[in-house]
Amino acid sequence: MDAILIDRGIDVASFTKRMYMMPGAACGWSGLGELGGVRSWLNRGACHSRPIVAHELGHTLGMHHASTPGAEYGDMSDIMGGTAGALRGFNAPHLVDMGWHDGSIDLGSEYGGEIVALASSDDPRVIRAPGDGDGVLSVSLRSRVAHDSTLEPFASDRVFVHRAYPGQMRQTMVLASLGNGESWSGDLVTVTAQNIGTGAAKVLVTRGCRTAPPTVEIDRLDVAPGGSQQGRVRVMNNDFGACAPASFVAEVESEVELEAGVELRSGETWTRAGAAVVPGYHALAVTIWREGTRERTASTLPIYVDDQAPIDAAYLTAALPNPRSNQAELNTWIYFDDSGYQGVELERDGAIIDSIAPTDQAGRIKLSDKDLRVGVHTYRVRVIDRAGNHSGWSEPASVIVRVRSF
Ligand SMILES: [Zn+2]
């Protein structure tokens, strides 16, 4: 179709939104629009339908359908729902998401007062609240004023509660349309409509608090070898909703010193590092208590403090078990280390070829190395203890590879 238009001298690419009207088409749909895209199409009678033109253009602007829980087109207050052939405005979440409305109030813990009809030019028109863990809630009044004069009577003078997902091009959802004196309650948010008149209503919107155990994480900060090791503790307050800051007490079961007693808001994180210096194994165990309750969360990190390098590995041997293969097998012996081992590193011809092969105790260690090129290859090994100390390199051992295998 673009080719035909270009033939007629129309610079198709210069149009940021393109609507193709096809009065002679026989498609099964009346209109189609690319969600957040450029093109939309209308056929037959839809070419003359202002509501369908507006609806398909709305899709190209990034608006999905205005829905109710049982019906994708069920929100009759929005041109992106089913409007029974009438031109109509947009619901509150679509207006805010499109950037066509900026008079909204973001709810803290509570709003009690007047809102004015969404189609009017005064404020406040929309109260927005976090959507109980999912999306964003909008509270708005729809009345038959200004461009909302064609609202269905059953959608007029009602306080709407919508859930939407700003910026995600997903359906908006009507959770409630409240008449005078009616209430809707979600998980934490409650909306009550009062004194609804044409153009204004009084609403009470409250948001509660749900507490949850904090997240406690400990990770190893500093793996440099030597006589001290650092751990880092992170505590996150997971309380949800309009919660007062909570006070947490850290109880640390080792000689690692941490500050005790910290006040955190919902979602806020406290991070503190501590170091262990006394040689040996330490369980950096942290218990976080919510002050004034029995609720606690615990986490543990093993830390090994050791300022002695391990003894070098001994008796390294290297061999080709099958002379016609190009795979070397290596054996070595490692001695007891007071903090235990992270593993063994293998060096071939002066370059470390293996990241650490894990082993945690003394004794015989087997390693292998395959796909060797023809020639002489010389190996050495060294061991790394749990505190990160490296031994020296072992005595070398060599193999000669004579054939390539395929
Ligand atoms: Zn549609």
Given pLDDT bands bounded at 50, 70 and 90, which one contains residue 253?
A: low
Domain 314-401 class, CATH top level = mainly beta
Gap from CA of 56 to ligand 1 centroid (Å)? 6
> How many CB atoms are closer than 10 A to CB 21?
15
> How many CB atoms are closer than 10 A to CB 249?
14
Residue pair 85/45 in contact (Cβ under 8 Å)? The answer is: no
C-alpha distance across the termini of the chain, in Å: 57
Instruction: State the greatest distance between any 2 C-alpha atoms of the chain, in Å, as a whole number.
Output: 96
Would the pLDDT of 385 be above 60? Answer: yes
Q: Mean pLDDT highest for which of 127-141, 165-179, 211-225?
A: 165-179
Gap from CA of 132 to ligand 1 centroid (Å)? 28
Give ranges for CATH 2.60.40.10 in the chain.
211-305, 314-401
Domain 100-207 class, CATH top level = mainly beta
Residue pair 393/380 in contact (Cβ under 8 Å)? The answer is: yes
d(CA 401, CA 383): 26
Given pLDDT bands bounded at 50, 70 and 90, which one contains residue 226?
A: low
d(CA 164, CA 202): 23
The predicted-structure confidence for 297-322, as pLDDT tens digits, reads as follows 888 877 777 878 899 999 999 999 88
Gap from CA of 62 to ligand 1 centroid (Å)? 11
Gap from CA of 303 to ligand 1 centroid (Å)? 59
Average pLDDT of 70-86?
A: 90
Gap from CA of 287 to ligand 1 centroid (Å)? 53
CA 37, distance to chain mean position in Å, is: 25
> What is the homologous superfamily of the domain 211-305 according to CATH?
Immunoglobulins (2.60.40.10)
Gap from CA of 12 to ligand 1 centroid (Å)? 24
Q: Which residue has the higher pLDDT, 323 or 93?
A: 93
Residue pair 97/78 in contact (Cβ under 8 Å)? The answer is: no
Gap from CA of 100 to ligand 1 centroid (Å)? 20
Give ranges for CATH 2.60.98 in the chain.
100-207
Gap from CA of 86 to ligand 1 centroid (Å)? 15
Gap from CA of 300 to ligand 1 centroid (Å)? 54
d(CA 166, CA 95): 11
Choose among 383, 338, 332, 336: nearest CA to 361. 336
Gap from CA of 150 to ligand 1 centroid (Å)? 20
Gap from CA of 43 to ligand 1 centroid (Å)? 14
Predicted TM-score (pTM) of this structure: 0.64
Choose among 305, 269, 272: nearest CA to 286. 272
